[in-house]
Amino acid sequence: MLLPDAVTFSRNVFLPITNVCRNQCKYCGFRRDPAHPEANLMTVSEVTKILDAGKRAGCTEALFTFGEMPEEHPQFKEWIEDIGYSSMIDYLIDLCKITIRSGLLPHSNPGVMDSRDIRRLKPINASMGLMLETTASIPAHEGSAGKIPSRRIRTIENAGKLRVPFTTGLLIGIGESKEDRVQSLSTIADLHTRYRHIQEVIIQPFAPKPGTGMANSPEPTHQEMMETVSLAREILPDDVTIQVPPNLTGFYDLIRCGASDLGGISPYTIDWINPEAKWPHISELAGKLREIRLRERLPIYPQYIHERWYERGSRLADLIEQYADKEGYRDEK
C-alpha cells in the first residue's frame, strides 16, 4: 500500500471526569466502584486548571471521557446531586460550555447515549465519539449493559441522523474472532454510507491491566494489528480515516497498512485509560515518520468544517474557524 502524503494528529488535553462506571468490562483498569478510595469526580476548578494549561501548551481539543452512566450507582448519584446536577450529561454540558469559553474545542465520549442527549451535546461539541469495540457478544462484556452491541450501534446511528462528526473504533484482542472484526468494520462502513458522519475509526490493541479479569490474557500480536488495519482499509470507505494510538502500537508499520492518523496527543495530560503508556513527544513522532509529513488537525475533520457540520454563528463555530486553515487543518500561523 502507498504511504500517505501526511499523517495527522490532534493536540489535546485528556479529562477523565469520573472513573465510576455502570459497566464491568473484564479488561478495564480505569473503572472504580464509588466506595473505592480511588473513585473520583473532577471538580470545575480541576477541569479549568487543565483547560488553561492545555491552552498555554497550544492544544485545541479537550477530550472528555468518563465511566458510562455512573449515576446508576446510588452513592455517585448523591455526589452529582451535591454539586447541583441530576446526571453526568448535565454536568458535561456545563463543562463543555466552560471549555469553549476557555478557547478549546470539546470532544465528548460519554458512552451510550439516546438521541436527546446527543442533540443537547451537539451545539457545544466539535465532534463526539463512542468505541463500537466489537459487534460480538463476548465474556469480557458480561455484566456491562452499555456494551450490548445493538445499544452502541444505535448511539452511533443516532449521531449520524443528527449530523455529528463521529469517532468510533475496534478494540482488538478482547475475545473477538477475525470474522467478528469483519462484521464490526462492515457495520461501521454501512453506518457511514448512510449518514457520512464517521470521521475516523480507531484500531486499538487490548493492553492487559493488573487486577482485572483479563490481566493474564495475551495482547494482540503486531502481525495481527497490521492485518486488522489492512482489513479496515479494505472494508471502510475511502473518506473514513484509520487511526492508531502511537503510545500502544508500532505505528509506522500500521501506517504502511493503511492508517493515517495518530489521534489525540497531549503535551500536558497522560492517557488515563492506559496510564502505563506515555505519549510520545510530537517531535519524536515527526522523526519516526521519516519522509511522511506530520500535520496537526482539529477534533473535527476538514470535510466537516468545509460542510459546516456545526451551528453557524456560535462561539463553537468561531473557535473552529479561528483554528482552521483554508484546508481545514490546524492553522500553523
How confident is the model over 92-151, as pLDDT tens digits? 999 999 999 999 999 999 999 999 999 999 999 999 999 999 999 999 999 999 999 999
The answer as to whether 16 is a domain residue is yes
Q: Which residues of the chain have pLDDT under 50?
A: none
Angle between helices 149-161 and 178-195 (to 10 degrees): 20
Range of the domain at 311: 6-323
**How much is the pLDDT for 274?**
82
1 found inside a domain = no
Number of domains in the chain: 1
The total of other beta-carbon atoms located within 10 Å of residue 120's CB is 16
d(CA 242, CA 104): 24
Write down the pLDDT at residue 31: 94
Q: Is residue 34 part of a domain?
A: yes
Neighbours of 179 (CB within 10 A): 9
Angle ∠(28,32,33) on CA atoms, nearest 5: 130
Cα Rg of the chain (Å, integer): 19
| pLDDT for residue 276 | 80
pLDDT at 277: 73
In the DSSP assignment, the letter for residue 84 is T
SS3 52: helix
Q: What is the pLDDT of residue 250?
A: 82
Taking CA 272 as the corner, what is the angle to CA 266 and CA 274, rounded to the nearest 5 degrees?
100
Cα separation of 99 and 81, whole Å?
22
| Predicted pLDDT of residue 132 | 99
Q: What is the CATH number of the domain that holds 21?
A: 3.20.20.70
- For residue 36, tell me if it sits in a domain: yes
Cell of 55: 491552552
Residue 316 carries which side chain, given as an amino acid letter? L
Residue-level pLDDT at 286 = 85
- The pLDDT value given to residue 281: 86
Query: How far lies 221's CA from each of 160, 208, 284, 287, in Å?
Result: 33, 13, 24, 24
- Contacts of residue 37, defined as CB under 8 A and 6 or more positions apart, other chains included, come to none
Q: Is residue 328 part of a domain?
A: no
Report pLDDT for 290. Answer: 82
Round to whole Å and give the CA distance between 222 and 234.
18
CA 321/CA 333 separation, integer angstroms = 13
Q: Which of 260, 204, 198 is nearest to 8 (CA)?
A: 260
| Cβ contact 188:167 at 8 Å | no
C-alpha cell at 208: 492487559
pTM (global) more than 0.85: yes
**330 within domain boundaries:** no
Which uninterrupted H or E stretch holds 64?
strand 61-65
Q: Report if residue 332 sits inside a domain.
A: no
8 Å CB contact between 138 and 174: yes
| Domain-located, residue 18 | yes
What gap in Å lies between CA 206 and CA 4, rounded to an integer? Answer: 26
